[in-house]
Structure 1
């Protein structure tokens, strides 16, 4: 039997980076995402974010492709958020794509702490700058990345 642990730091944003995830009700969204992870038998270690984007650290089972995991997660949360219009009146959907970075066990606490402190972090850093720094850390060129491209 194989033993595989895959930790993903996944980042995704709202359509056109609209500030539509209300701080007052964000925990309800996080609880919904936690339920999705449990249903998929994946472990949500930490979730957090801002009104225009989310971060999560999650251990995804090796038999589930991260692309499929995120496709379904974004579809289901979009439906749920739209059904909660009184709590998330500005939500119009998620932007295309996401970013997923893998980490090992020894980095787990660092990433968990980073996600936990998103509100403090973003007092001085815009999402675009944060994301471009993440790309640089992984030696990726932001000019070739389509994740921040405005949605039609």
Structure 2
């Protein structure tokens, strides 16, 4: 086949460093999610849904066939952190956590994940980020050591 084709959907999750609630302001969060969508586009990927709450974000995106997952997350985190820091001196100490979680999403799961990302505020009235993230790791059968998951 002379052409390289791919269809990869990713659900990426990462938190603020130490899960600090830096993103409490709903308007700021909406602006950040929109900005992150632009970053995703710039990387040659398609933002499908971006959402989150005060201490973490969820991105449902496609992944360009020429980009690694690590580079996608690194650049998205880097540029969005810079954007926050440039927006206000209040964000000088802002950092994302060092790690992240990425889960592959089939086409048949896409609508469910879109709803899940949109409904983050409702989900987190009942459970913490740690509970949510552990659930994803378990559901996707990701082996992990609890000592190294949180920062």
**TM surpasses 0.5:** yes
The DSSP-based 3-state class of the residue aligned with 1:38 is: helix
The match for 1:39 is 42
Give the alignment's Cα RMSD to 1 decimal: 1.7
TM-score by length of 2: 0.90
Establish whether residue 7 from structure 1 lines up as the match of residue 3 from structure 2: no
The match for 2:108 is 106
Partners of 1:10 and 1:57 within 8 A in 2 = yes
Q: How far did 1:41 drift?
A: 2.0
Q: Structure 2: any 5+ residue segments left out of the alignment?
A: none
The match for 2:138 is 136
The match for 1:120 is 122
**Where do 4+ consecutive residues of structure 1 move more than 6 Å?**
none
Partners of 2:85 and 2:92 within 8 A in 1 = no
Deviates more, 1:39-48 or 1:88-97: 88-97
Give the one of 56, 75, 88 matched to 1:53.
Answer: 56
The match for 1:73 is 76
Q: How far did 1:6 drift?
A: 0.5
The DSSP-based 3-state class of the residue aligned with 1:28 is: helix
The match for 2:65 is 62
Hey, what's the Cα distance between the residues in 1 that align with 2:75 and 2:106?
Answer: 25
Partners of 1:99 and 1:147 within 8 A in 2 = no
Q: Structure 1: any 5+ residue segments left out of the alignment?
A: none
Partners of 2:10 and 2:104 within 8 A in 1 = yes
The DSSP-based 3-state class of the residue aligned with 1:96 is: coil
Hey, what's the Cα distance between the residues in 2 that align with 1:144 and 1:120?
Answer: 26
TM-score by length of 1: 0.90
Aligned residue pairs: how many?
A: 148
